[in-house]
Amino acid sequence: MSILKSCIIAFGMYSKIPMPGVEWSEKNMRYSICFFPLVGAVLGLLIFGFYTVCGLAGFGRAFLGAGVLTLSVLVTGGIHLDGYMDTMDALHSYQPKERKLEILKDSHIGAFAVLMLIPYVLLTYGALTELQDQRAWILYGCSFVWSRTLSGLSVVWFRGARKDGLLYSFSSTAHKRVVRLVLLLVLAVTAAVMAAVQPVLGGGMCVAGGLCFAYYRYKAYKEFGGVTGDLAGWFLACAELSMLLVLVVLQRFI
């Protein structure tokens, strides 16, 4: 029963999909991170379904791209974009670590948050309009699983920047050994599926996500002394865009 409650907590936190209320106890949160990739799988399936409907209805790429962007925010609640914007404000402040951590906790939107969100949205929209076929859309859907699996691994592998906050709550209550094994298995299965769809495209996307993961650790440790929930959201946003851009470029040659 606690496994089901862990799943409910994961979807309740990282998506806007309606879930029954459960107590956020240590027991119920123990395996929540294991289900973070499942949130990505549901998002990927919904986006692929939207792509299929748009194709049947005869909508063009512009509407498809705008719809996918909107759908992803509606399903996730934009929690990763919130982290992306907060992190951009903190990084561009060029302040000491302690001050950067304070900026992450500030609920106000800074200028750099907006300035860096604009190219992010434009690049995502432009890349979505360039996806050529069903194969590309399947791989794009898989990227949500891959990125969230890596994000989950960072919660149980990387050093936290502080002893409070959302990420600390999930990290401190997690059964780390089990969570790591589950997420590594999900990572392997996802990589195999992506390689089966198209080895070069799938492999390139996985490498892009992995490089973002390594950069995430480096930047988090250097600038903040560890990871936070906002930084995990920043990584997720960067990984999703990087994998999408690699897909768009490589598909030209496959």
Whole-number Cα distances in Å, 102 to 40, 89, 161, 168, 196: 29, 11, 12, 16, 44
Q: Quick one: pLDDT at residue 224?
A: 93
Domain chopping of the chain, boundaries: 36-250
C-alpha span between 105 and 86 (Å, rounded): 8
Position 214 pLDDT exceeds 90: yes
**What is the arithmetic mean of pLDDT over 62-85?**
95
C-alpha span between 237 and 64 (Å, rounded): 20
Arithmetic mean of pLDDT over the chain = 92
Which of the four pLDDT bands, split at 50, 70 and 90, describes residue 171? low
Q: Residue 47, Cα to own-chain centre: how many angstroms?
A: 15
Tokens 């990584």 belong to 235
Q: How many residues does the chain have?
A: 254
| Largest interatomic CA distance in the chain | 53
Is the pTM value of this prediction over 0.75? yes
Other CB atoms within a 10 A radius of the CB of residue 57 amount to: 8
Position 3 pLDDT exceeds 90: no
